[in-house]
Structure 1
């Protein structure tokens, strides 16, 4: 396809188009009002209503229109901080707790999909992480060994001599595999969660903006674009789509564009050569590229940070095509069918969390790993609201992220951050003899 013919909507919408729930008269009161109808909001609502608590979920967009149907469908539960950084920032016990809870959250996601009968092409396929240098390989091998020893995760190093059994590229110096990671179709997963939430009794309404939240004694008055609602508790799950109605949160959460391209269908023998194990894939570059086969195994979806803050220019799509070709030279001029972006939520501490402010509970800050963390922490937030302190306990029950100086919601600094990270990646590739001559 030519650039003008590349679809700007998510590839996932082809098989799971968004559905706007039928408009209902909003209740004047609810036990819990949930702001944001993504994975977190629906997960919380399912937990609440099944415990006999009424839940009203509002979203200013069509439900699922945000990151929940725009992500790569990689159920990694990655934490952007290294284990050493977590130990330094939070202590060793909490760092170990984060790793252990990640294992529990991934296993719980698999059980949830199975128990609820959600047909979303989920497959526990594992993940290959490529090493860009010998030092990277040594570090990833040590990390894989530590995961296997500490958490009994099937995790192991892949030397360069056998990496073609996992991925058809010469870019990497080996890598590491962990088999507790899966992939799914996020559009189908969202549609399944919405079905489960509605069947359980949650009221989900889209195109209904929350304008303000005011605490009045032990309850809240929530002003919306369709009137005011009194709520016993408010849970905010807006993540990278937080708007100016919550200026306090907006100073703490940075919406960063993440873009994904989808190739046109590729020959079966080529797919088998490039991705023989049909895993999820990534590497350790600053710009965090991630990629995978489509669920039907016919094309490659390749994602990374966009670097733009407005409009939809062509250059981020071309940049991803170049980086895809760097890994797989056979795809240097591949035709694309889709290129789209969504917003992930970054913040200064770079770790998912639950926290409270003025009585409102927040589940947010997933830093690009929301497939696992959004559903998990939405459930944990609901359990805490229900007063189930044991089941609701989580190592991610942090204080709020720190505010960002001179930031009021628009990530004006991201093009500069992106340029710096790209420069560092190019320097790394050049040092390892993996940089081409294309600027």
Structure 2
């Protein structure tokens, strides 16, 4: 019997095998072709693309590279788009909706081929993903969307009726779901470490612990003010996402940092894992505040993540809420302890689509809305190609900037209330599903 008085570790489970560390100090170049703000997935992939094209690149991060969401996420290569295909079609028309989904297919393929070609050891496992429906109406829509993706884009996607659900997942919580076989899982911190290695090998200068204080026009280029001194740049790319700070107040009014928390169970018996996750798939669910979950790369634990309504410190109650949902899914885990509970910031905004855009001559690649494992490297790369004037045809995510959030300047004071509203809506949906 686990001792629940023992608090789980508050550092990411992923750091056990791939800890993030500061980089050795190197001289700050006085000038560069491109300065990139943020050394997560997006910034590093953009920097790699630009460096291999012959540009001099400086990548700056006020934390350790990867210390933000790039090493704190669930490691699921979902490439989720918050609006489903039906909503995308309604908002943007069928052609744009299909272009977005098609680019998602390309983005996943790029991720897998990049990992293979660069020899990055990050425990990539192409298991597929099961997405649970909480009522039969949602199942019907999910099954139709899966059929559309299969027929129009040749994605291996299909509906799973409730009667067949336990072939994929050992729970009775859902009313069926859908499966996509082009989605898998990886070790996010190992992936970032490999990406950092190849980016540095390509000649990009990466500095940790260097804060960008501001970016100012300087003739045909820019002066980037940093805590380590100014850098002159012909171009600037911002990839700060959920860790955007006051150095860029214009972006900060448009990006809302939302805490996402993940818990990891203690090791589970092999026969229990075989019952609960018979295909070791990545998993999600169709709720406003739905959780995502997966087996650990070695198949011995379950990791489950979801939104965290706290805004400071590391309170115990968000961990307990996730644990309760884990038990709701798998009652057999009621007496299982937790080894880790940690959080990181994801970037939400009013349009809920990743995007590339310009403002005052600065290029931005941001707004990944909790699906950065696929979108951050892809959008970072497409932004770099755009800066090289090689992005043809134009990315489906090359949009106008997202709109500012009214009365918002960086502190998401409204998020606890919104999360409670969303939680209530999910509860009402679950009650309807029980009728």
Q: Taking structure 1 as the reference length, what is the TM-score of the superposition?
A: 0.97
Find the counterpart in structure 1 of residue 70 from structure 2: 68
Find the counterpart in structure 1 of residue 423 from structure 2: 422
How far does residue 4 in structure 1 lie from its aligned partner after superposition? 4.6
Alignment deviations for residues 149-194 of structure 1 (CA, whole Å, 9 cap, x no partner) = 0111111111111211100001111111110111100010000000
The separation in 2 between residues aligned to 1:131 and 1:287, in whole angstroms, is: 13
How far does residue 333 in structure 1 lie from its aligned partner after superposition? 3.1
Find the counterpart in structure 1 of residue 342 from structure 2: 340
Where do 1:86-105 residues align within 5 Å? 86-105=88-107
How far does residue 389 in structure 1 lie from its aligned partner after superposition? 3.4
Contact 1:31–1:233 (8 Å) recurs in 2: yes
**Which of 172, 176, 179 is the equivalent residue of 1:177?**
179
The separation in 2 between residues aligned to 1:404 and 1:289, in whole angstroms, is: 25
The separation in 2 between residues aligned to 1:82 and 1:183, in whole angstroms, is: 21
The separation in 1 between residues aligned to 2:162 and 2:426, in whole angstroms, is: 21
How far does residue 51 in structure 1 lie from its aligned partner after superposition? 0.8
Find the counterpart in structure 2 of residue 437 from structure 1: none
1:409 aligns with 2:378: no
Contact 1:309–1:410 (8 Å) recurs in 2: no
Alignment deviations for residues 257-305 of structure 1 (CA, whole Å, 9 cap, x no partner) = 0000000000000000000000100111110210000000000000000
The separation in 2 between residues aligned to 1:238 and 1:53, in whole angstroms, is: 21
Find the counterpart in structure 2 of residue 397 from structure 1: 398
**Which of 132, 145, 157 is the equivalent residue of 1:143?**
145
Tell me the SS of whatever aligns to 2:210. coil
The separation in 1 between residues aligned to 2:414 and 2:334, in whole angstroms, is: 30
Find the counterpart in structure 1 of residue 191 from structure 2: 189
The separation in 2 between residues aligned to 1:136 and 1:328, in whole angstroms, is: 21
Tell me the SS of whatever aligns to 2:230. strand
Task: Structure 1 unaligned segments of length 5 or more: list them.
Answer: 435-439
- C-alpha RMSD of matched pairs (Å): 1.1
**Which of 236, 245, 248 is the equivalent residue of 2:247?**
245
**Which of 198, 202, 217 is the equivalent residue of 2:200?**
198
Tell me the SS of whatever aligns to 2:343. strand
How far does residue 430 in structure 1 lie from its aligned partner after superposition? 1.9
The separation in 2 between residues aligned to 1:143 and 1:90, in whole angstroms, is: 16
Find the counterpart in structure 1 of residue 82 from structure 2: 80
Q: Taking structure 2 as the reference length, what is the TM-score of the superposition?
A: 0.98
Find the counterpart in structure 1 of residue 42 from structure 2: 40
Find the counterpart in structure 2 of residue 324 from structure 1: 326
Tell me the SS of whatever aligns to 1:221. strand
Contact 2:382–2:391 (8 Å) recurs in 1: no
Corresponding residue pairs, total: 433
Tell me the SS of whatever aligns to 1:5. coil
Contact 2:254–2:402 (8 Å) recurs in 1: yes
Find the counterpart in structure 2 of residue 431 from structure 1: 432
How far does residue 85 in structure 1 lie from its aligned partner after superposition? 2.3
The separation in 1 between residues aligned to 2:186 and 2:212, in whole angstroms, is: 31
How far does residue 90 in structure 1 lie from its aligned partner after superposition? 2.1
Tell me the SS of whatever aligns to 2:434. coil
Find the counterpart in structure 1 of residue 362 from structure 2: 360
Find the counterpart in structure 1 of residue 57 from structure 2: 55
Contact 1:120–1:189 (8 Å) recurs in 2: yes
**Which of 305, 309, 314 is the equivalent residue of 2:311?**
309
The verdict on how the C-alpha distance between 1:3 and 1:185 changes in structure 2, with shifts beyond 3 A counting, is farther
